[in-house]
Amino acid sequence: MSSRSFNPFEMAQVQFDRSADLLELDAPTRDLLRYPLREHQFSVPTRMDDGTVQVFRGFRVVHNDARGPAKGGIRFHPHETADVVRAIAMWMTWKCAVVDLPLGGSNGGVVCDPHHLSQREQERLCRGWVRQLSRNLGPQVDVPSPDVMTDAQHMLWMLDEFETLRGERLPGFITGKPVGLGGSRGRLEATGYGLVFVIREALKERGLKPEQTTASVQGFGSVARHAVDLYQRLGGRVTCVSCWDHRDQTARAYRKLGGVDFRELSGITDRFGSIDREKAGALGYEVLAGEEWLRQQVDILIPAALEQQITGDNVSDIQTSVKILAEGAHGPVTPEADAVIAERGIFLVPDLVANAGGVICSYFEQVQSNMNYYWETDEVLGKLDVKITTAFRAVMEAAGKNRLYPRDAAYLIAVARVAQACRDRGWL
């Protein structure tokens, strides 16, 4: 099957099938884990500022909750589909399991472009989404969090609507909230920092120091920005970042061989991660085609945007200088590309671990909200470092012991844990 015909859910199933074969899972277990437990697709009628009503399509999928309440983000994206939501819900199940959180996997979203919605329209949409699902969400059932083009403000509107419907205070219903209103310190930078923590460990595996390396990053949203910041503070140098320009719906890369200035670029980036190309050019950045981030002569590639970005069609663009590929996004590398990356000996840090900082700190926020006691930033990030580093080392140990590609090793651990939970509950 060509990479162009691969949809994300089929890709997630192919990855699962590979691990199911390695574990020799029986047919009932495969049938249960290959598909979501529950799906909701619904309409969200929303009053616009001009008085008209626009109807948006909404989704929520719970893949599996055998290990605990489901956990997963909410995306606002014009190209959101049911299969994207299904795939990410499945990946969330495995991600929570591989880092050993007592949670299952879910995901949701709305087909919309928030760039074209006012703040009041976005608020009405958030509240409408919660009203459609309120009986199927909750701190002990399914806990949402931010994802692509949603943030702390969206989560707070959703929390307020949920608490209004329930008539009680339930801050553990949702994570990614503002600090001071039930949010956790360290949550905003958690995914990017977790990504760099595992890159640090991968560099140790390769006998490299951060200051000896360069990186190219796809994305400049919350994950990528915090990853760039911490990686460069460790001594590394990011020479290229790529992001989506929402004004003309085109991706562009911004290169400065001496190293991008994180604060400088952040100052000309909107809240959705789009860099102002004219201002970037005036600051001395080369403005390139969006796909050029993949063709850079660097040591580390960090896809931190969307799924299916490195495929069988473009994996050959990766330069021979690349030693590490760290997946900051959900499912950015297709199975076809995996085969080439493995053959070339590029050290892959799979998304199940590399992208897990966000859900780890979401879990920390859940715990803090439910007990109404909040930790300081250093404590949160310290716990994150321990948790994600422990998971990375377990994956590397399984990869070495079983002579497996790192992704296969991560899946082996995750799927085995979820399957055992299903058996222990008597589902199988």
Q: What does the mean pLDDT of the chain come to?
A: 93
pLDDT attached to residue 297:
96
Residue 148: pLDDT band by 50, 70, 90 thresholds? confident
Residue range 188-354, CATH number: 3.40.50.720
pLDDT of 336 above 80: yes
Q: Taking every pair of C-alpha atoms in the chain, what is the biggest distance, in angstroms?
A: 63
Q: pTM higher than 0.85, yes or no?
A: yes
Residue 22 contacts residue 408 (beta carbons within 8 Å): yes
Picking from 238, 405, 239, 230, the residue whose alpha carbon sits closest to that of residue 335 is 405
For residue 72, give every residue at least 6 positions away whose Cβ sits within 8 Å of its Cβ, in sequence order, or none: 88, 89, 92, 105, 106, 107, 108, 142, 144, 145, 147
Report residue 202 as tokens. 């991968």
Bridge partners, residue 109, by sequence: 59, 75
List every span in the chain annotated with CATH 3.40.50.720: 188-354
* CATH annotation of 37-169: 3.40.50.10860
For 370-385, write each residue's pLDDT tens digit: 999 999 999 999 999 9
Q: What pLDDT shows up at residue 5?
A: 56
Q: Which residues of the chain form CATH 3.40.50.10860?
A: 37-169
With b for 16 or more beta-carbon neighbours within 10 A and e for fewer, the 321-330 pattern comes to ebbbbbbbbb
